[in-house]
Amino acid sequence: MPLLSVNIDHVATVRQARYRAGPGYGEPDPVRAAHEAELGGADGITVHLREDRRHIIDRDVERLREAVRVRFNFEMAATDQMIEIARRIKPHSAMLVPEGRQEVTTEGGLDVYGQVQRLTSVVKQLRDAGCVVSAFIDADIVQVEAAEKVGFSICEIHTGPYAAKFEAAGGDLTRDAVFEELERIVTAGNAVLHAGMRLNAGHALNHTNVKAIAALPGVSELHIGHAIVSRAIYVGMRQAVAEMKHAIASAHEAVEMGHEHEED
């Protein structure tokens, strides 16, 4: 069954809406959110320290690295400043993502193919610091091949296009547009696994659309944030994480039962 890494960036977004000019104090506290996520069954905690510090700030990263008891995943742009921070705090995994000042959240995968030389150096620096290094990429064979060449250990496939088509189709997985996006993810995922890299997936996943992704073969881990934080407003972080874990588990169990029926 895929593991679940909970992105808590938007807990900090709520805090910064009130305490933007402050030093990172105030409510809600991302560290307390991480603790509640762990109690809900999170297998990892993810944060993205952006260049503009729009939500997670440096102090959060320092405190979370000390407090988190599950795997700590650090999303980062491939800048010298972020490399220095990652080498110092030594997260369990460092995931390289594209970053734009005008975007609301990360849109589109990292162009590994277009910057092989630069990223090869970045990955080496991070690996030398003891980090497992991941690339957030689109479901594109060219990007998978480039990620293997650069030396990434993990590829996280961008599920945003699938999520958008899923919503437009009202959740109907039999619609051609949804099926085609799933096929693209499967094809890219198979290439990731064939290259000997770990396969993760994430972006715009929620309690409804996650099931089809969780059921895909070879997926090691799902990274989900906004949907869990949104649900937590109503039921609390611990319960919101537990509900997402249940959705993932139910998808996995359905696949296992299908395999048993095929054998019979």
- pLDDT, position 107: 67
Per-residue confidence (pLDDT) for residue 252, from 0 to 100: 73
Q: What is the pLDDT of residue 108?
A: 86
Total length of the chain:
264
CB-based contacts of 84, cutoff 8 Å, min separation 6:
none
What's residue 262's pLDDT?
Answer: 55
* Catalytically annotated residues: 48, 75, 203
Given a contact cutoff of 8 angstroms between Cβ atoms, the answer to whether 47 and 263 are in contact is: no
pLDDT tens profile 14-66: 999 988 766 657 899 999 999 999 999 999 999 999 999 999 999 999 999 99
129 in Cβ contact with 139 (< 8 Å): no
Distance between CA atoms of 36 and 236, rounded to whole angstroms?
8
Q: What is the CATH number of the domain that holds 8?
A: 3.20.20.70
Low-confidence ranges of the chain (pLDDT < 50): 260-261
* Predicted local confidence at residue 246, as pLDDT: 97
Q: Give, in order, the Cα–Cα distances in Å from 94 to each of 75, 203, 225.
A: 6, 17, 17
Q: Does the global pTM surpass 0.85?
A: yes
Q: For 237-250, how does the pLDDT look when each residue is reduced to its tens digit (9 = 90+)? A: 999 999 999 999 99
State the pLDDT at residue 19. Answer: 83
Domain count, the chain: 1
Chain-centre distance for alpha carbon 97: 10
- 10 Å CB burial of residue 263 (0-12, 13-18, 19+) is exposed
Domain range holding 84? 3-263
